[in-house]
Amino acid sequence: MEKTATGTVVWFRRDLRIHDHQALHAAWKRGGPVACVYVQGFDEDKLARAQQTWMSQARKALHRSLMQKYETSLWCCKPSAHGYESVAQALKTCLDAIGATHLFYSRRYEPDAATEDDRIEQLIKEGGFNARGFEGHLLFQPMEVDKWMSSGKRIGRAHYGTLLPMLHAFKQMGDIGKVLPAPPSLPCLPRDSQRKLELVCTSMTKKKSQKEGALAPWADKLMQAWDVTEEGTRKALDEFIRQKLQKYEAQRSRADLQAVSCLSPYLASGMISPRTVYAASLQGEQGGKQSPVSKTFSRRLLWRDLAYWQFYRYPHLSHKPLRAHHTSHAWSQNREHLIAWQKGRTGFPIVDAGMRQLWHTGWMPQNIRMATASFLTEYLNISWLEGLSWYRDTLVDHDLAINSMMWQNAGRSGLDQWNFVIHPITSPKSSDPTGEYVRTWVPELAKLPTRWIHQPWEAPDQVLDAAQIRMEVDYPTRIIDNLEDARNATLKQTLDMQRSADPFFHTVGGYDVIWFRDISSAEKEAYLSSVDFQAWEPVFVHVFTRKELRHAGSVEERTQKTPTSSPVPSTKKSSTARKRTKVQRASNQTLLRRYYREAQEDTE
């Protein structure tokens, strides 16, 4: 602790907690007065309505915790304009006002956000202050994970970008560190500093009575399903650990039993740290070594880190297919289908239940998210980007890295393409065998016996009469009559897209090929025109491709094919371009030969 330490400003964003908060802890350790600040509008314009509402409640909760424990306020400062320069200026004004010398904050890892943070930190430093970002949003930082994930070696037979190499990386990286308690005290600002801060910021105590922005009444309603307080967060964790964790392995897929933790919005807003959740899910063993009570649950937190690693490595994760040739997939533009899906009026009860739960609570369990996503991309052939955008708008736990990774996978263009399609009639046998999930969210079907609840159109008239359901009047007709035809049509579209893609995008075994890393176009140019291209490896990697989607063919057949697209499209057929195409073909052949060998080794 510094003896006569100057003040520290702790800048809160998506880390709205006092426990296991490394930046706050470091500020307390420094010893000088601490001002807890958030910048109004910063980051919020990137959040959709549901999450904005959650964040506004979570800030109030943080303010209450700060007041109760330290008698200090959360201060809101308002930049004069949009943009990172104004944010940096607003923070410098706060630092100046109280004579503080240090700015501490928790790092964000989405590529754009990380760049923005670097720029702000730079401007703060140029202003003569110290600025430091701390960890805490993830178990491990993506750049640390990257060292293991991208070492160029495949981990056993695990496919690149899937959870197995991540588990391997996790083991290598070692301990996640100790969960930090809330600082025992925070030195308050002297009165005159407080008065000066009041000139540039508003205390949340004063803001309390004012409504923070006009939020949609719909989004306000969502909050009724949640307890967005520090106590609510702790209660959600404690109840899960005491009552559900032991049964997580067996029951996690049961939407009718509410067997999962529902911690995702608390994690997304930083009301709880992943380290706290991970540590709470361990149990003591003989010899004092701790191990997870449920392997699957602990791995869920690794999935979180995996998503951030994917985003770090592929900054276009949120808006462009990772399998580049998938850009040419012919998605359906049927708006009626999309709206029926969004509003939970598809006529398929499990899909409608999920989408209505999302609308009313801003949340769904994982297997129902998967069922609704699969329905959109596999049966309706509607783009994963539409799904991503709707989830982004309506989820209270929206997380751009996770949402993007999962939708890319659902849309078949992600690193870990799903190896299954979720059937909307047969899958509820395991996800909602009692029908209670559908009864809760599709109340018009509540009186139907379980036998018919997932396919009410099959119910005999007398059953429908007894359940007081008039099909088409009380509950919508199915938007697709024949699921198998719809599914086959999507499959055909996908295979057509696979066949018409440049051979460059497939291995001989039919696996999709992607750039190993997100390299600049200048690098791509250099690679493609380099005769000594082997020196560049690894530049490509093959990724898991569902068997039915593999486009196989002989090396000759596929390399002789005229490319219909190329990672570096050449507009004019100059002699250099022709030469480059030749070199590219040659490199394809070498690659394909290499992949051919790999595919032979890879028996899956």
Binding-site residue numbers are 248, 297, 397-399
Closest distance between ligand FAD and the C-beta of residue 181, in Å? 22
Nearer to ligand FAD, 342 or 559 (CB): 342
Beta bridge partners of 283: 291
Name, in order, each residue with C-beta under 8 angstroms of 569's C-beta and a sequence gap of 6 or more: none
> Which of 37, 204, 301, 340 forms a contact with ligand FAD (CB under 6 A)?
301
Give the range of 99-107, 311-319, 406-414, 559-567 binding ligand FAD by CB under 6 A: 406-414
Nearest CB to ligand FAD, comparing residues 417 and 507: 417
CB of 67 to ligand FAD, least distance (A): 28
- Give the residue, chosen from 25, 92, 159, 304, that forms a contact with ligand FAD under the rule CB under 6 A: 304
Give the shortest CB-281-to-ligand FAD separation in angstroms. Answer: 9
Cα(278)–Cα(241) distance, integer angstroms: 11
Closest contact distance (angstroms) between CB of 370 and ligand FAD is 4
Instruction: Give the three-class secondary structure for 323.
Output: coil
User: Among 402, 480, 508, 591, which residue interacts with ligand FAD (rule: CB under 6 A)?
Assistant: 402
Q: Give the strands of the sheet with 130-134, arranged side by side.
A: 130-134, 100-106, 7-11, 34-39, 74-77, 201-203
Distance of CA 371 to the CA centre of its chain: 17
Q: Which is nearer to ligand FAD, 254 or 304 (CB)?
A: 304
In whole angstroms, how far apart are CA 316 and each of 113, 319, 401, 408, 448? 13, 6, 11, 11, 45
Of positions 47, 182, 272, 410, contacts ligand FAD by CB under 6 A: 410
Residues 6+ apart with CB under 8 A from 420: 374
Q: How far is the CB of 267 from ligand FAD (least distance, A)?
A: 4
27 binds ligand FAD (CB under 6 A): no
- Joined together, the tokens standing for residue 298 give 């602990």
Query: In the bound complex, what is the minimum distance in angstroms from residue 71's beta carbon to ligand FAD?
Result: 32
CA distance 451 to 457: 12
CB closer to ligand FAD out of 365 and 456: 365
Contact criterion met (CB below 8 Å) for 86 and 113:
no
What residues are designated binding site for FAD?
Answer: 248, 297, 397-399
Two tokens at 465?
């009469």
Candidate segments 123-131, 158-166, 186-194, 400-408, binder of ligand FAD by CB under 6 A: 400-408
Task: Indicate left, alpha or beta for 601 from its phi (over 0: left) and psi (-120 to 50: alpha).
Answer: alpha
Please, which residue, 43 or 496, has the CB nearer to ligand FAD?
Answer: 43
Could you say which residues in the range 241-280 bind ligand FAD, by CB under 6 A? 260-264, 267-268
| Residue span binding ligand FAD (CB under 6 A) among the ranges 94-102, 399-407, 420-428, 494-502 | 399-407
Give the shortest CB-512-to-ligand FAD separation in angstroms: 20
Place of tokens 């104004």: 86
CB atoms inside a 10 Å sphere around CB 566: 15
Where in 307-346 is the site for ligand FAD (CB under 6 A)? 307
Q: Which two tokens stand for residue 417?
A: 């393409």
Which residues, numbered 369-398, are part of the site for ligand FAD (CB under 6 A)?
369-370, 373, 391, 395, 397-398
Question: Which class for 524: exposed (0-12), middle (13-18), buried (19 or more C-beta within 10 A)?
Answer: middle
Nearest by Cα to 10 from 20, 25, 1: 25
Place of tokens 């929206």: 398
Joined tokens for residue 41: 């509008």
CA angle 45, 50, 52 (to 5 degrees): 40
Tokens 């997932």 -> residue: 454
Our finding on whether 182 is near ligand FAD (CB under 6 A) is no
Stretch that binds ligand FAD, among 69-77, 121-129, 296-304, 495-503 (CB under 6 A): 296-304
Which chain residues interact with ligand FAD by CB under 6 A? 260-264, 267-268, 300-301, 303-304, 307, 365-366, 369-370, 373, 391, 395, 397-399, 402-403, 406-407, 410
